[in-house]
Amino acid sequence: MTGEARTTAKGPNWLGAAVATSVPRGVGEAFNPPPAQRRLDLPASEPRALTDSTLLTMCGIFGMISRQAPISTDALQAAVRSLQHRGPDAQTHWINPSRSVGLGHTRLSIMDLATGDQPMVNEDGSCHLVVNGEFYEFERLREALEANGHRFRTRSDSEIALHLYEEQGQQCLRQLRGEFAFILWDEAKNRLFAARDRFGIKPLFYAVHHGMLLIGSEAKALAAAGYPLRWDHEAMAQTLFAGVAPERYLFEGVRQVPPGHCLIATPTDLRIEPYWELDYPRVTDPAPVRTDAEWIEQLRNEADEAVRVRLRSDVPIGCLLSGGLDSSAALGLARQHVSGPIKTFTIAFDHVAFDESAVAGRSSAAYGAEFHPIRVTNADFAAHFSDAVWFGEGVHYNAHGAARYLLNRAVKAAGIKVVLAGEGADELCAGYRFCERALGLGTETPPATHWPEPVLRLLATAAPDPALLAEGLPGLTAQARALGYPELMIGHLAGKLALARQLIHPDFAQRFSREDPFLAFFRRYDVARSLDGREPIKQVLNLWMRTGFANYVLGAERLDMASAVEQRLPFIDHRLFEFARNLPGNLMMREGREKWALREAMRPFVTPEVYAGRKHPFLAPPSVLQDGSPMFTLVQDTLRSQSAASLPFFDHRALVSFLDQLQTFKGPERAPFDPMLLLLTSVAILHARYRL
C-alpha cells in the first residue's frame, strides 16, 4: 500500500513552536526511502543456531536534550538510578562535549554478557544510541551493513539500529522487527531521533521542562530528573470514561510516543510521526485465495517462525503458562526448537474457578517442562497491590496486576531473565467475548453482566434510567454499537458511568460534564476512516488495538520490568499480524469455538485438553468482596484515608457514603463494583506514593 501521513493535531512544543502528530494511512507506508539512500542487499534468511553469541538486552533508557542550561550530571544519574530495577546489571551514561545532550542506560544482560554496554557509538562518534528491547533477525541486516562498509564494535542486535540509521535515516524503522524503544542522538545533524515499536510493547514517555526535553522508559525517571509530576485532569476524565488517547498519560505534560511512531527533536521543531499502522482490509479489497487448510498451515508457519526468532539468548528462557491455548501454544512451539527442559511459571489462585494451575501442570509434564506453580492468596494481593501500582504507574481494574508482579518476582528468584508469554493471540484471532456479536453470535447480554437488584437500586439514585444517560453520550452509544455490544449492554455501560459520576467531585464534574470522551476519541483518530468498509470483527479489533490493548494490556510491561524480567510476545509480531489481518472472519470462530483458525493451527503443539478447552481470561478472583479479607480492608482503609480525601477528582463524602452502602451488600452483590473500587484505590495509591 502507498500513501502519505496526515498531520492531524498540533500543540505547543518545547521550543514554543508546534508539535506535529501525524496519523498513518496504512501498513508501513508513512516513510518511503528517497532515491538518494543506499539500498541494502539482504542475504537470504536462514535459521541460525540458537547458541550464537549476540547481545539482546532488556533495559531502561533515558535522554535529556537542552537548549538552555547545561545538562546536569546529577539529574541524569538520578534518572538512570530510578530505572535500576529494569536493568540491574549495569548503569551507564554519556554527556556530549557541549553538555546539551545526555543519554543513560540500565542494562539487563541477556546475550553477549561480556560486551555491549550503552550508549553505543558509530564509527566516527557522531551518533550515540540507547536501546530497550530486541531486534530480531538482525544477523541478515548486519551482514548487509558490513558489506556496505559499516564496522561493528559489538555483536549486538542493538547496534543494528545505529548503522541502519546512518544508512537510511528515519526509514530504518521499516526494517526493524521486534519489541523496542530507542533514543539516538545525531551530533552532525543536531537531531534527537527516538522511536517505539509498532504495537507499543516497550514504553517511551517524554515531557518538556524549562527548555529541556526529557524522554525515558518510565515516568518516574522524568520525575527523578526534575520534572514535577502532577495529575492531568483531562487524562483522568478520559480514563474514568474509557476513552483515553494512546499518547496521553495520567500526569500533566507527560506524553507517550504512540505505538508505531517516532519522535524527532531539532533546534527548531519537535514532532511525532508515524511509520506503521495495522490497517485492516476493506471487504472490497482483493482477498487472498486460500483454502481453510492453507490458511491454517500458513498461520502455523508464521507463528512458529515468530516463536523461533524469539528464542535467541545466552541465558535460559522460561515460559509463562496458563491453562489456555495461547501460552500453551508458545510453549509447544518453543519445545520444537530448544533442547533440555523449559521452566514454566503459573499463577495458582486460591479460588477454584480462577485457578488454571492443574491444566498448566499437565501441559508442562507433556512437554517435559520444569513446572513452577506460584501460589497467590488474597493476603498476597493486599501486601503487594500498592507496589504493583507504583511500578506500573497506572490504574488497576483487577488484582491481576499484583498477581503478575508477584509472578515475575518468582521468575526472577528462579534465576530466569527471559520468558515467552501468550499475549496478543486474542487480538490476532478475535478471542475475546466482546468479539462474538461482530462474528454473528450472541445477541443477548452475557449473564455475568446482569446486575443484582441492590446494585440497580443504588444506580437508580444516580441515573433513574441508564438508557437516557446513554443517549446523552452519543459517543458511548456509537462505540458500543461499533464494538458489537448488544443494545442492553449500552445501558449497563451507562450505569457504570452513572456510578462514576455519582462519586466525582462537583468541580471536576462541571469541568468535564459537557464533553463526550467517546466522540472526542472518534474525532481525534478519524475512527470512521479505520472502520468504514471493514468486516464487523475487523472494526472491533481495530478499536480494541487502539484503546484497551495499547493503554492497559501492554502497560503491564512495567510490572515485568519491576523484577527485571523480559517477556517476549511471539503473537505480537508485525509480520504475523500482517498475515492474520487478512484472515476471513468465519475462520476466527467456528463450531462455537473462539480463535478457531489459531486453535487448528496450534493443535499439534498443545495437549488435547488445552485444544478442547474454553478461554479463561487472566483475572484474579474477586478481591474486594469478602468481608474481613485483606484486600477488602486495604480498599476500605485506602479510600477512607486523608490521602484519598485530598484527591481532586472525587467527592470524598459521596465515596465514603458509597463504601458504607457497599458494606450492606452481600459478597456477590458487590461484584459489579470490583473494577471501580480497584480503580479508585489505585488512583489513591498513585496520589500518595507519587506525592501528586
pTM of the model: 0.87
Quickly list H helices, 548-666.
557-561, 574-580, 596-602, 608-612, 630-639, 642-645, 652-662
The neighbouring-strand residues paired with 228 are none
Confidence of residue 525 (pLDDT cuts 50, 70, 90): low
Question: What is the reported pLDDT for 527?
Answer: 65
Lowest mean pLDDT among 342-351, 503-512, 642-651: 503-512
Question: What is the reported pLDDT for 248?
Answer: 83
Confidence of residue 671 (pLDDT cuts 50, 70, 90): confident
pLDDT of 535 strictly over 60: yes
CATH number of 292-429+540-612: 3.40.50.620
**Preceding peptide of 119 cis, ω within 30°:** yes
Please provide residue 62's backbone torsions phi and psi, each rounded to the nearest 5 degrees.
-155, 145
Q: Do the Cβ atoms of 221 and 63 come closer than 8 Å?
A: no
DSSP secondary structure of 345-379 = EEEEESSTTT--HHHHHHHHHHTT-EEEEEEE-HH
Rounded Cα distance, 42 and 437, in Å: 44
Residue of higher predicted confidence among 90 and 607: 607
Rounded Cα distance, 618 and 620, in Å: 7
N- to C-terminal Cα distance for the chain? 46
pLDDT of 110 strictly over 60: no
Q: What is the DSSP letter of 664?
A: T
pLDDT of 119 strictly over 60: yes
Q: What is the DSSP letter of 55?
A: B
Question: What is the reported pLDDT for 213?
Answer: 97
Question: What is the reported pLDDT for 168?
Answer: 92
CA distances from 322 to 347, 472, 554 (A): 8, 41, 18
CA distances from 595 to 59, 588, 590 (A): 33, 5, 8
pLDDT tens, position by position, 55-84: 445 689 999 999 889 999 999 999 999 999
CA 10 to chain centre: 25
Written as nine digits, the cell of 363 is: 501441559
Confidence of residue 469 (pLDDT cuts 50, 70, 90): very low
pLDDT of 367 strictly over 60: yes
Confidence of residue 487 (pLDDT cuts 50, 70, 90): very low
Class of domain 68-229+264-269: alpha beta
Domain boundaries, the chain: 68-229+264-269, 292-429+540-612, 623-692
Confidence of residue 608 (pLDDT cuts 50, 70, 90): very high
Please provide residue 613's backbone torsions phi and psi, each rounded to the nearest 5 degrees.
-75, 165
Mean pLDDT, the chain, as a whole number?
82
Question: What is the reported pLDDT for 442?
Answer: 52
The three-state secondary structure class of 63 is strand
**Closest C-alpha to 578, from 199, 24, 126:** 199
pLDDT of 560 strictly over 60: yes
Residue of higher predicted confidence among 240 and 595: 595
Rounded Cα distance, 602 and 360, in Å: 16
The three-state secondary structure class of 266 is strand
Confidence of residue 515 (pLDDT cuts 50, 70, 90): low
Question: What is the reported pLDDT for 312?
Answer: 81
Rounded Cα distance, 670 and 109, in Å: 45
Q: Do the Cβ atoms of 303 and 333 come closer than 8 Å?
A: yes
What is the chain's Cα-based Rg?
A: 25
